[in-house]
Amino acid sequence: METLELTQYKSLLGRLDTEEAIELVKETFLKSLRRNLNLVKISSPLAIVDGTGINDDLNGIERPVGFPIKNQSEKKAVVVHSLAKWKRWQLAALEIGTGKGIITDMKALRPDEDYSPIHSLYVDQWDWEKHIAPTDRTIDYLKETVSKIYQAIKHTEIVVFDQYKEITPFLPEDITFIHSEELLTTYPDLSPKERENEVAKKFGAVFLIGIGGKLKNGEPHDGRAPDYDDWTTETETGKKGLNGDIVVWNPILQQAFEISSMGIRVDAKALDHQLQITGSEDRKELLFHKTLLEGKLPESIGGGIGQSRLCMFLLRKTHIGEVQTGIWPTEEVEKCQKSGIFLM
């Protein structure tokens, strides 16, 4: 487990002020994002029936938490990893019109997540999905959407400052867009995370385009499951990928800090191709995948925005355990306390 090497840290806000500030961040950001993207808030599941293909595989190797359902003949259910595919299903079920979308509070358990000051077993995020027209499957539409999300983050930062003057805004006015291929060309000798650190520190806030596909060095910048984001379609820029990550520079941690993973979702053609190149063609028989391949699900764009991540960043915290309750090893709790970090 990665640990913090801080000898002296003092939170800008006490525990009670922190709890109130968390509520302020969540309420402000949600309201702003809904307005910017034309989203309606809906309810969502904590667990779903296994074997439908609706639960997300994230990087493709994470194991879900599973349990039998007594009153359904021990049928297996799994706690969600995220709701990327479930949301698209809901767009169809709710008959959401083009240009409108949905957002929900997603609560998940990811037992294979590596512990670190920015990761825990418990994941809370705003999961959103928007119905788009086929003509919106462009890099320009993706950038426009990212900019609207960034505007909501900037607005929330100002609202926090209005309430807590000790938390000074520092995000740049605009977010910078860069493709992962360009990043590799600029920093060919660095690892993906080191590249992110360099570009985030330089610009303050970046959207890194093209996550999942192999770059010219034969390796992807990062992994993505083949059945939600479109990371293989060649765009009008001549580069592949209609997805990406919102990454900011975190001066408290002195590192790049991911806020959101998002993108235009696969259409039938992209899904078929990405299942082929990842050796996942067996998924074509699952309910979600069959329905999409048959053209029965709407075109969409969507993503997840970390709630605790955003609170941690905007409230200048050094550990995610300062903004959410979690399960931490005793040695981590003790080490954090010695550094002035008190975990919930």
The predicted pLDDT at position 179 comes to: 98
One-character DSSP codes across 75-112: EEEEE-S--HHHHHHHHHHTTPPTT-EEEEEEEEE-TT
The predicted pLDDT at position 275 comes to: 97
Q: Let me know if residue 209 belongs to a domain.
A: no
The predicted pLDDT at position 40 comes to: 98
Closest CA to 272 of 232, 302, 213, 218: 232
CATH number at residue 75: 3.30.930.10
Distances (CA, A) of 87 to 7, 304, 326: 44, 11, 26
**Helices 307-314 and 15-37: crossing angle, nearest 10°?**
120
Q: Let me know if residue 233 belongs to a domain.
A: no
**Contact (Cβ atoms closer than 8 angstroms) between residue 136 and residue 263:** no
Q: Let me know if residue 190 belongs to a domain.
A: no
Q: Let me know if residue 296 belongs to a domain.
A: yes
The predicted pLDDT at position 189 comes to: 97
Which residue(s) pair with 106 in the sheet? 125
Q: Let me know if residue 153 belongs to a domain.
A: yes
The predicted pLDDT at position 267 comes to: 97
How many Cβ atoms sit within 10 Å of the Cβ of residue 167? 17
Active site residue 324: no
Q: Of 32, 44, 56, 90, which one is the catalytic site residue? A: 56
Domain that holds residue 160: 15-171+268-338
**Contact (Cβ atoms closer than 8 angstroms) between residue 217 and residue 162:** no
Q: Of 157, 181, 245, 332, which one is the catalytic site residue? A: 245
Count of structural domains within the chain: 1
The predicted pLDDT at position 4 comes to: 46
**Contact (Cβ atoms closer than 8 angstroms) between residue 282 and residue 308:** no
List, for residues 172-213, the tens digit of each pLDDT value. 999 999 999 999 999 999 999 999 999 999 999 999 999 999
**Contact (Cβ atoms closer than 8 angstroms) between residue 197 and residue 139:** no
Q: Let me know if residue 176 belongs to a domain.
A: no
CA distance 235 to 195: 23
Q: Let me know if residue 125 belongs to a domain.
A: yes
Active site residue 112: no
Q: Of 44, 120, 261, 324, which one is the catalytic site residue? A: 261
Q: Of 258, 299, 322, 332, which one is the catalytic site residue? A: 258
Spans in the chain with pLDDT lower than 70: 1-8, 52-53, 55-62
Active site residue 15: no
Q: Let me know if residue 328 belongs to a domain.
A: yes
Q: Of 110, 137, 265, 283, which one is the catalytic site residue? A: 110
Active site residue 261: yes
